[in-house]
């Protein structure tokens, strides 16, 4: 065997085993890595929120934790059970955006869940970024914020923020890999246009919702029953709704008219996707709450909005979001029929083009497993101290002995995950990756 052959073989083994992350560039390789980190991070971030909600439901059913002010037991359990299902769906969605099976499952149910899930959290992102500087607690639509310790409120806020940021990064990358033609080219590349009546209706309804929210943000009392209850949090959330609705109206108009023709398609597609999901999902979530508050005004503080006006706005938001999605779908279909010169056509990427190597997958999984373990160890320690009433606080979990039992169990689960993450290695029997 020639010396040069031995040197080449040695160099190959060193690259594949000692430096598993150094591989030749593959189509979408760096985007795939970013998608995995963002999606796994979103799942990890949402897990503490799921645990908190489960503890609230179990604690209320067992009589160990207080209910939210103004809620009956059935109402409290039903509302928090809904958020448990929502958070579990968010975790499953994040995993679908990360795992290889996510590229094989039917696109429509996955994209529907992604559209609704991203829409629910996107309106919170500006609020969660700014609210810590306002000195107010973040909104928690399914609970009583006054009953939450400060650390628990911060953990809930971090979970929602982590899920929102992770999905906001992973979802467009997933869509780009699964349907690249929808993101390539410029608006002027497509000859046909979506149905104009639906597109015009979507633009008008979204713009109307955005302008009403903008007028409230700027101080107008039009359509408000209790304008004195407006605070900085309300202004921030309402302003975010106005920005997304108006941006979505513009993006829908751009897709319908194919103007400006030089605008990259992915810009209009992304804005229309996010804003339509926000209008539909957020309105569909708030409309039942509006009806519940109208039927029983004692369940919470009065809203600044007139409830009839709010119900009308949310109904319009649902219709506008659906119409915007229809326009977006038609636009993508048109773009698929006429791919841009020199760009990939429609279809899906093969798993060999998007999947990371075994060592790279192991490194990502190991880091995120250890991160989740650290979160569980910290949460378990705090719960234990609260259950033993050693933190000097009152209310909530403090002094409830059940948390002195659940806390160590949670911490032990975290330690187990840490151990698994530390001991995780690539299988020594894996064949070396070709350079």
Task: Name the residue with tokens 């109208």.
Answer: 294
Q: What is the Cα 358 distance to its own chain's centre?
A: 27
- Among 176, 101, 114, which residue's Cα sits nearest to residue 343? 176
Task: Name the residue with tokens 């409309």.
Answer: 287
3-state SS, 368-413, equals HHHHHHHHHHHHHHHHHHHHCCCCCCCCCCCCCCHHHHHHHHHHHH
- Among 270, 291, 63, which residue's Cα sits nearest to residue 168? 270
Write out the chain's pLDDT in tens, 435 residues: 444 444 344 444 334 443 444 443 344 578 788 889 999 999 998 988 888 888 888 888 887 777 766 666 777 787 788 788 888 888 888 888 888 888 777 777 777 877 887 787 777 776 666 666 655 444 444 444 345 666 777 787 788 888 878 887 888 788 778 777 767 788 877 655 666 788 899 999 999 999 999 999 999 998 898 888 888 888 888 998 999 999 999 999 998 888 888 888 888 888 998 899 999 988 988 888 888 777 777 766 788 998 889 989 999 999 999 999 988 888 876 555 444 444 444 444 333 344 445 565 566 667 767 777 777 787 777 777 777 777 655 555 566 676 777 778 878 887 887 888 777 654 444 444 343
**How many residues does the structure list for the chain?**
435
pTM: 0.62
What distance in Å separates the CA atoms of residue 101 and residue 348, rounded to the nearest whole number? 13
What distance in Å separates the CA atoms of residue 233 and residue 230, rounded to the nearest whole number? 8
């Amino acid at each position: 065997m020639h010396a040069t052959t031995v040197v080449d073989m040695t160099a190959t083994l060193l690259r594949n085993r000692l430096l598993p992350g150094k591989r030749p560039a593959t189509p979408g390789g760096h985007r795939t890595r970013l998608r995995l980190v963002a999606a796994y991070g979103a799942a990890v971030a949402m897990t503490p929120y799921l645990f908190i909600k489960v503890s609230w439901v179990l604690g209320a059913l067992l009589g160990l934790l207080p209910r939210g002010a103004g809620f009956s037991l059935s109402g409290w359990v039903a509302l928090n059970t809904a958020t448990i299902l929502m958070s579990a769906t968010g975790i499953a969605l994040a995993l679908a955006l990360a795992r290889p099976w996510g590229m094989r499952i039917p696109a429509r149910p996955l994209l529907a869940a992604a559209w609704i899930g991203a829409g629910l959290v996107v309106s919170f992102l500006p609020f969660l970024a700014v609210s810590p500087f306002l000195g107010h607690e973040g909104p928690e639509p399914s609970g009583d914020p006054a009953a939450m310790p400060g650390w628990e409120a911060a953990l809930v806020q971090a979970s929602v923020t982590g899920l929102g940021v992770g999905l906001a990064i992973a979802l467009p990358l997933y869509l780009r890999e699964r349907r690249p033609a929808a993101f390539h080219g410029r608006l002027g590349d497509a000859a046909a246009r979506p149905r104009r009546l639906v597109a015009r209706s979507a633009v008008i309804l979204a713009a109307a919702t955005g302008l009403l929210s903008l007028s409230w943000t700027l101080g107008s009392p039009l359509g408000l029953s209790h304008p004195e209850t407006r605070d900085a949090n309300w202004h921030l959330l309402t302003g975010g709704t106005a920005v997304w609705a108006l941006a979505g109206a513009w993006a829908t108009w751009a897709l319908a008219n194919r103007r400006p023709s030089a605008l990259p398609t992915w810009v209009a597609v992304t804005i229309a996707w996010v804003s339509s999901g926000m209008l539909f999902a957020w309105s569909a979530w708030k409309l039942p709450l509006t009806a519940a508050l109208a039927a029983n005004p004692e369940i919470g503080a009065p809203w600044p909005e007139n409830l009839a006006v709010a119900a009308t706005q949310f109904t319009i938001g649902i219709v506008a979001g659906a119409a915007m999605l229809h326009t977006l779908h038609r636009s993508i279909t048109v773009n698929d029929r006429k791919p841009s010169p020199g760009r990939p056509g429609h279809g899906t990427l093969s798993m060999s083009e998007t999947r990371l190597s075994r060592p790279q997958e192991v490194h990502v999984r190991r880091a995120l497993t250890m991160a989740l373990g650290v979160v569980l160890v910290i949460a378990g320690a705090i719960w234990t101290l609260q259950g033993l009433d050693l933190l000097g606080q009152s209310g909530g979990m403090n002094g409830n002995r059940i948390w002195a039992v659940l806390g160590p169990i949670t911490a032990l689960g975290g330690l187990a995950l840490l151990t698994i993450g530390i001991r995780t290695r690539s299988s020594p029997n894996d064949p070396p990756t070709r350079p």
